[in-house]
Amino acid sequence: MDSVLLRAFLETADAGSMSRAARQLGISQPSLTLQVQRLEHHLGTQLFRRHGRGVTLSDAGVALYPRARKILHEMRATEDAVRREGAARVNRLTVGAIPTIAPYVLPDALHRLRERASDARVEFREDYSAVLAKLVADGTLDVAIAALPYAFDHVDTEPLGDDRLVVAIPSYYPAARAGRITLAQLRDAPAVTLDRAHCLGEQVAGFCSSHDVDASVVCHSSQLTTVLELVGAGVGVSIVPAIAAARHNTPRCAYVPLAGHDLRREIVAGWRRDSARTPVAQAFVECVRDVIRGWS
């Protein structure tokens, strides 16, 4: 049975909608419809009931669903075993990292890994937590370096260390001379924020909401570097990782703690659940852990 057709069936069943499933698979809706129809033709039965709000499983679809899950799981397990055997021979490693961590961790971690395993072949992917979690879960990535409190479904997380958060402010602000900023001052200042598609942006937005910080947001950005540049230009203030502040150390910016609050995020390694971890993958994660320890 074709795994592509089975995945199309499962995604459609989970989404309850052809259009939503097509978006998740990254294909057009007509292509997805054709795949489902091919599977129904192959099995000689209708798998979905179509209605105005989307689709629901037929009796045959309900019967197929757990079997399709099992078939794909066994196929992936077989593929994983073959890949692991090949990777063990060439020390190949595929790593993902979120954008607010990747530039500050991966270069040093890679340098350390080369000292331990000079023949390791490493491929990197930088993306949002949601994307990396799916790539780890389906075996495309060996491991992802990300941060909590993002909820990683179907992925095991291993704590690597803490990343302190500070408030980035223009260097001429009174808070820069005081060496700290109060919650009241934070509420009064215009804000430059990281897009909530980043788990850090979501975390900061959650903190502000829970502490009645309803600052006037003058800019949303998808890039942490842009946020820091705009702070330096006097556009507003922002809560950023201390690791980014250390790299973006310019006279125009000051980085101060928020008085009375110890802001942190926990950095983790994300592993595929119940999968074997290759020696080179484990060695790389230990290198990342060493880099994080060096921040304190």
- Tell me the pLDDT tens digit for each residue of 245-263: 888 888 999 999 999 988 8
Specify whether 166 is located in the same domain as 29: no
* Least trusted range by pLDDT, from 93-97, 102-106, 270-274: 270-274
Q: Is the pLDDT of residue 273 over 70?
A: yes
Task: Write the Ramachandran bin of 154: left for phi over 0, alpha for psi from -120 to 50, otherwise beta.
Answer: left
Final residue before a domain boundary, out of 33, 63, 84: 84
258 in Cβ contact with 208 (< 8 Å): no
Report, as an integer, the average pLDDT of 82-107: 81
Is residue 274 exposed (0-12), middle (13-18) or buried (19+ Cβ within 10 Å)?
exposed
pLDDT score, position 187: 84
**Confidence grade of residue 25 (pLDDT, cut at 50, 70, 90):** confident
Dihedral sign computed on CA atoms, order 223, 228, 231, 237: positive
Specify whether 195 is located in the same domain as 282: yes
pTM above 0.75, yes or no: no
Specify whether 51 is located in the same domain as 154: no
Q: Is the pLDDT of residue 83 over 90?
A: no
Specify whether 26 is located in the same domain as 99: no
Report, as an integer, the average pLDDT of 185-193: 86
- Tell me the pLDDT tens digit for each residue of 159-170: 999 989 999 999
Q: In the chain, pLDDT over 90 holds for what percent of residues?
A: 43
Report, as an integer, the average pLDDT of 73-88: 76
Final residue before a domain boundary, out of 84, 109, 125: 84
User: Length of the chain, please?
Assistant: 296
**Confidence grade of residue 86 (pLDDT, cut at 50, 70, 90):** low
214 in Cβ contact with 151 (< 8 Å): no
Query: H/E/C letters for each residue in the chain?
Result: CCHHHHHHHHHHHHHCCHHHHHHHHCCCHHHHHHHHHHHHHHHCCCCEEEECCEEEECHHHHHHHHHHHHHHHHHHHHHHHHHHHHHHHHCEEEEEECCCCHHHHHHHHHHHHHHHCCCCEEEEEECCHHHHHHHHHCCCCCEEEEECCCCCCCEEEEEEEEEEEEEEEECCCHHHHHCCECHHHHHHCCEEEECCCCHHHHHHHHHHHHCCCCCCEEEEECCHHHHHHHHHCCCCEEEEEHHHHHHCCCCCEEEECECCCCCEEEEEEEEECCCCCCHHHHHHHHHHHHHHHCCC
Specify whether 134 is located in the same domain as 17: no
Residue bearing the bigger pLDDT, 90 or 200: 200
Q: What CATH number is attached to the domain comprising 213?
A: 3.40.190.290
User: What is the bridge-based pairing of β-strands 92-97 and 143-147?
Assistant: parallel
296 in Cβ contact with 164 (< 8 Å): no
Residue ranges making up the domain that contains 68: 3-84
Is residue 98 exposed (0-12), middle (13-18) or buried (19+ Cβ within 10 Å)?
buried
Specify whether 63 is located in the same domain as 97: no
Q: Within a 10 A sphere around the Cβ of 91, how many other Cβ atoms?
A: 18
**Confidence grade of residue 142 (pLDDT, cut at 50, 70, 90):** very high
- Tell me the pLDDT tens digit for each residue of 221-251: 888 889 899 999 998 899 999 988 888 888 9
Specify whether 19 is located in the same domain as 154: no
Q: Is the pLDDT of residue 87 over 60?
A: no
pLDDT score, position 85: 65
Q: Is the pLDDT of residue 72 over 70?
A: yes
Specify whether 147 is located in the same domain as 247: yes
User: Number of folded domains in the chain?
Assistant: 2
Q: Is the pLDDT of residue 151 over 80?
A: no
Specify whether 67 is located in the same domain as 180: no
Specify whether 116 is located in the same domain as 254: yes
Specify whether 25 is located in the same domain as 99: no
Final residue before a domain boundary, out of 27, 62, 84: 84
Specify whether 10 is located in the same domain as 145: no
